[in-house]
Amino acid sequence: MRMADIVKETNGKHENMVEITVKTIGPARPSRLHVPSSIKVLDLRKLIAEKNHLPVENLKLILQGKVLHDREDEDDVYTRLNDGDSLVVAVKPRAPVGLSIDDDDEDLKFQLPQSTSRWKKKLYSFLRNRLKLPDIILMAIFSLSLKAWALVILWFILAPIAHKWDLGPLYILGTGFCLIFLNLGRRQPGDVSAYSIFNEDFRELPGTLNADAIDRDIRTGRI
């Protein structure tokens, strides 16, 4: 991509051109680059890759200690540059032939599926980038359905009422039993429970060890 094309695309989004210093990690010497003061991160990566003859897909840009990303919530990200800024460029090594290796830390973090609605992606971006919530909390938030969240909110609303009527322990025990029964699976026709009391004619699983089996083995001389 040429500079003229980028200036045309960013018309109205920048005030002037600035000169930045590009420092590539490795033996390469720092270079200077004239770019618009406001530019898409993707266009900036393409410019640096073209000038330094580097693979654009393997470039990672770092400005003031922050990694620049091309897109956020499926929208192009613009970065604001000042005259004299230093931009660090890291080149990820190519994966060996026949292997697909990606050492990007972003792939190790919790991410929403591509089919997630736009408002959920906006909320996820706000909680992660603005509030800096850890991934374990984000996973808990976005793994629950709206129905589950409604039940959680209802539980917290009813908890003070149970405490006021001195029913706190009973309320917690009742919640525990409800969670157990709601998470019980349904047996398919022909399936046998591990507990004989739940089976027809109290039928036991083969190999079950109980008092009757021990008594039978003693009488038959197996023990």
Helix or strand run (H / E) with residue 86: strand 86-91
Lowest mean pLDDT among 69-83, 185-199, 208-222: 185-199
DSSP string, 21-63: EEEESSSPPPEEEEEESEEEHHHHHHHHHHHHT--GGGEEEEE
Using pLDDT thresholds of 50, 70 and 90, give the confidence band for residue 108: low
Tally of CB atoms within 10 A around 53: 6
Residue pLDDT, tens place only, 1-18: 555 555 555 554 545 888
Alpha-carbon torsion 184, 186, 191, 197, what sign?
A: positive
Q: What is the mean pLDDT of the chain?
A: 77
pTM: 0.44
Contact 142, 124 (CB under 8 A): yes
Tokens coding 206: 């083969």
Contact 80, 13 (CB under 8 A): no
Give the pairing type, strands 17-24 and 86-91: parallel
Backbone angles phi, psi at 212, to 5 degrees: -65, -40
Residue-level pLDDT at 36: 87
Helix or strand run (H / E) with residue 123: helix 118-125
Lowest mean pLDDT among 32-46, 55-69, 111-125: 111-125
Contact 18, 10 (CB under 8 A): no
Closest by CA to 93, choosing from 63, 128, 58, 53, is: 58
Helix or strand run (H / E) with residue 75: strand 75-76
Q: How far apart are alpha carbons 27 and 39 in whole angstroms? A: 27
